[in-house]
Amino acid sequence: MMNRKAGKEQGSASSKSRRSGIAKLLDDTAVSTYEDVRAIIDAKFELLKIELTEKLSVIASAAVVAVILVVGMTYLLTTVALLIGELLGHPFLGYLIVSLLFLSCFLFFTRFKPLLLRNLIQKILLSLHDYN
């Protein structure tokens, strides 16, 4: 009888060591999986930060270029107005003609063809991203 108890105790001891080995393996696998998932999530956040930074830099550079364009167009329109005024003999006539040109464009795009400008801008933006 003693041999049977000793055999059972040895069997249960080896079973416990196997369980602890399997449990340890499962624990290590779960921990490494958790760490891998956490590393993937951290990497995705870093990628998102980089993409957002890139998009913000594109927007900022476009804003700077837009300001430069507005200032340049202002000087160009002032020059055209002064030229027209010089040709007509009165400087105010040049400014009047340029102003009337802008007001007529405003009326055209707001009263007569309000969707034309929106559709044109939408087509330009879609063509920038290669959409048809």
| Nearest by Cα to 78 from 59, 60, 63, 98 | 98
Helices (H), the chain: 2-88, 91-107, 114-128
In the predicted model, is pLDDT for residue 129 greater than 90?
A: no
For the stretch 69-118, pLDDT in tens is: 999 999 999 999 999 999 999 888 999 999 999 999 889 888 888 888 88
| Residue boundaries of the structural domains of the chain | 1-89, 91-132
